Amino acid sequence: MKRLNTVFVRYALLAIVLLMLTQWIWIFVVGRQHARIEATHIARVSAVVYGAATSNSGPKLSEAQQDAMAATLRFNFVDAGPNGYPPGCPDGCADTTDDVFGQLRGQLPPDSRVVLDKHTSQIWLRYGDAKRWLRVPVDSPAVERLIGASAMMLALAVAFALLGAWQIQRPLRRLARAARDLRIGIRPAPVVAAGPSEVKSLITDFNQMTRDICDADQERAIMLAGVAHDLRAPLARMQVRAALIGDDRMQHGFLNDTAAMSRIVSQFLAFAGSESNRAQGDGTLTTTMGGPGIELTSVDVLCEQRYGREDASGVVVAESHAPAADDARDASDPAHEPPLILVDLQAGASFKLPTVDIDRILSNLIENGFAYGAPPLVIETRRAAGCFTLAVRDHGPGIPQTDIERVQRPFVRLDAARGDSAHSGLGLAIVRRLARSYDADMTLTNVRKNQGGGLRVSLSFPMR
């Protein structure tokens, strides 16, 4: 159904309907006039053949002259039989009452007879009270003769209409493809301005908008990368000086703060890197998927190796990021502490991505889950409906439904859900940027309380 809902199909259907309506009206009008024209023609020819067209003072045509005139016109006379009807006259020579023959009879003298032989396509005509009948061959009606020509004209018109519709939708299709590329993180090549003036103006504005957006992204990436890079040196010096502090409690707090700042700087650099790649303008995906020398890894295998049940107890979570996880460990017997991460992997070995991108996606989602949710986190993979799904779910309070779209933007922080300041609001933005580079969709869903509650972040990757 979506393929029918296009500019090309709509314009083509409109043109075809209008052309067919025009043809139908034309045939209808010609058909209505055809009866009158045909009746007038036969009446005049019959008058000439019978000799009734001569003046009242002039001589009438003899039978021999009438026969000669009829032969010239491919007519012929037939003498009436004893019953007054000529041999071969159909249906007892009963008058035909169709529209054309009614009009013809009205233009002949009184007592004239008009009979149509449908089997031989001939008209039997008696002019007034003449003793002889005139047999007139009937050519195909004009409307029927025009059907073939009309059909050919309609076919040509439809072909030109389809060609015109295709020419109109071509620049719009290129523009739509470029807009889609821009949405998923590719800087498209400038679209050729073609088509009507309105479409040309739209394409020109889109090309300028694309340049402005990519230039702004490049400048922002340079600024973020510069600031983050400049902060690394003083942070390193702070960590060295913290190691010299004699008070263990103060040293521990100082190191936690510098570690939190380092994570923020790392997120800045990661986001700036994705911004820089997006603004390169090479017309290719910014992801390394399928690139030369890039190792593709099964997502299920990597998740099982990194976060499987046997390794779940060994997941390292910073203290300032996982108060809920600390509570879970403290409240239970260390020998029977619940796992921090569970895996439910059902996508299969064909779900593959570059290792570095899997790590970046999962590390950001898991860090967010521990920071703002509650363990255990569940990593799920699925294969269904033409796509692979990678999801991470926590068991925390979730987020307000009205903030689901806003929280995916860069630098957005929901303070009501924050227990610390160790984040810059870039985690979900980085994940969404990576997902879009694979033409994947990211969806945030609050899990119902009767199902355990929490937030579920799902990435749907189309199969390729």
Which of 424 and 54 is assigned the larger pLDDT? 424
pLDDT band at 336 (very low <50, low <70, confident <90, very high): low
CA separation for the pair 13, 213 (Å, rounded)? 37
Single out the residue in 248, 266, 286 at which a domain terminates: 286
Portion of the chain with pLDDT greater than 90, in percent = 7
The whole domain housing 219 covers 184-286
pLDDT at 288 over 50: no
Q: What is the pLDDT of residue 371?
A: 82
Same-domain pairing of 409 and 341:
yes
CA separation for the pair 109, 113 (Å, rounded)? 9
CA separation for the pair 93, 115 (Å, rounded)? 6
Q: What is the pLDDT of residue 137?
A: 79
Using CA atoms, how far residue 268 sits from 187, 274, 305, in Å, is 21, 10, 28
Strands 76-79 and 113-117: unpaired
Mean pLDDT estimate for the chain: 75
Residue at 177 is within a domain:
no
Using CA atoms, how far residue 234 sits from 132, 227, 231, in Å, is 125, 12, 6
Look up the CATH number of the domain holding residue 124: 3.30.450
Q: What is the pLDDT of residue 419?
A: 42
Q: Across the strands, what pairs with 380?
A: 344, 391
CA separation for the pair 92, 89 (Å, rounded)? 7
> Would you list the DSSP string of 404-463?
TTGGGSTT---GGG-S-S---S-HHHHHHHHHHHTT-EEEEEEPPGGGT--EEEEEEEEP
Same-domain pairing of 321 and 417:
yes
Same-domain pairing of 250 and 383:
no
Q: Once rounded to an integer, what is the mean pLDDT over residues 214-233? A: 72
Portion of the chain with pLDDT greater than 70, in percent = 72
Which of 65 and 31 is assigned the larger pLDDT? 65
Phi/psi for 28 (5° steps) reads -65, -45
Same-domain pairing of 59 and 80:
yes
Q: Once rounded to an integer, what is the mean pLDDT over residues 6-34? A: 77
Q: What is the pLDDT of residue 181?
A: 82
Same-domain pairing of 213 and 134:
no
Same-domain pairing of 449 and 307:
yes
Q: What is the pLDDT of residue 312?
A: 45
pLDDT at 124 over 90: no
Q: What is the pLDDT of residue 324?
A: 45
pLDDT at 418 over 50: no
Same-domain pairing of 443 and 308:
yes
pLDDT at 381 over 90: yes
Same-domain pairing of 139 and 188:
no
Q: What is the pLDDT of residue 99?
A: 66
Residue at 160 is within a domain:
no
> Would you list the DSSP string of 41-109?
HHHHHHHHHHTTTS-TTSPPPPHHHHHHHHHHTT-EEEE--TTSS-TT-GGGGPPP-SHHHHHHHHTSP
Tokens of 418: 């924050």
Same-domain pairing of 255 and 402:
no
Q: What is the pLDDT of residue 285?
A: 35
Residue at 158 is within a domain:
no
Report pLDDT digits (tens) over 186-223: 778 888 888 788 888 889 999 999 888 888 777 777 77
pLDDT band at 456 (very low <50, low <70, confident <90, very high): very high
Phi/psi for 406 (5° steps) reads -65, -35
pLDDT band at 425 (very low <50, low <70, confident <90, very high): low
pLDDT band at 380 (very low <50, low <70, confident <90, very high): very high
Q: How many domains does the chain have?
A: 3
Using CA atoms, how far residue 368 sits from 177, 253, 371, 407, 422, in Å, is 34, 21, 5, 12, 11
Residue at 28 is within a domain:
yes
Same-domain pairing of 359 and 248:
no
pLDDT band at 337 (very low <50, low <70, confident <90, very high): low
CA separation for the pair 52, 130 (Å, rounded)? 11
**C-beta separation of 136 from 122 below 8 A:** yes
pLDDT band at 390 (very low <50, low <70, confident <90, very high): very high
Residue at 190 is within a domain:
yes
Tokens of 448: 């119902």
Same-domain pairing of 39 and 123:
yes
Residue 192, Cβ neighbours under 10 Å: how many? Answer: 13
Look up the CATH number of the domain holding residue 428: 3.30.565.10
pLDDT at 303 over 60: yes
Q: What is the pLDDT of residue 235?
A: 73
Q: Once rounded to an integer, what is the mean pLDDT over residues 58-67? A: 71
**C-beta separation of 323 from 373 below 8 A:** no
pLDDT at 360 over 80: yes
Strand order in the sheet with 441-446: 341-345, 377-384, 387-393, 455-462, 441-446
Using CA atoms, how far residue 288 sits from 184, 269, 284, 285, 293, in Å, is 14, 18, 10, 8, 9
Same-domain pairing of 277 and 304:
no
Q: Burial, 155: exposed, middle or buried (Cβ in 10 Å; 0-12, 13-18, 19+)?
A: exposed
Q: Once rounded to an integer, what is the mean pLDDT over residues 289-305? A: 74
Residue at 251 is within a domain:
yes
Nearest to 117 by CA among 98, 145, 143: 98
Single out the residue in 143, 176, 194 at which a domain terminates: 143
Residue at 312 is within a domain:
yes
Q: Which 8-state DSSP code applies to residue 376?
A: P
What's the whole-model pTM score?
A: 0.49
Q: What is the pLDDT of residue 105?
A: 75
pLDDT band at 379 (very low <50, low <70, confident <90, very high): very high
Q: Chain centroid to CA 223: how far? A: 38
For the ranges 268-272, 326-330, 398-402, the lowest mean pLDDT is seen at 326-330
> Would you list the DSSP string of 142-186?
HHHHHHHHHHHHHHHHHHHHHHHHHHHHHHHHHHHHHHHHHHTT-
pLDDT at 393 over 90: yes
Look up the CATH number of the domain holding residue 222: 1.10.287
Residue at 163 is within a domain:
no
pLDDT at 305 over 70: yes
Phi/psi for 445 (5° steps) reads -135, 135
Q: Once rounded to an integer, what is the mean pLDDT over residues 307-312? A: 60
pLDDT at 121 over 80: no
Q: Once rounded to an integer, what is the mean pLDDT over residues 323-345? A: 62
For residue 109, give every residue at least 6 positions away whose Cβ sits within 8 Å of its Cβ, in sequence order, or none.
Answer: 52, 127, 128
CA separation for the pair 344, 339 (Å, rounded)? 14
Using CA atoms, how far residue 155 sits from 11, 21, 450, in Å, is 16, 14, 63
Single out the residue in 286, 301, 333 at which a domain terminates: 286
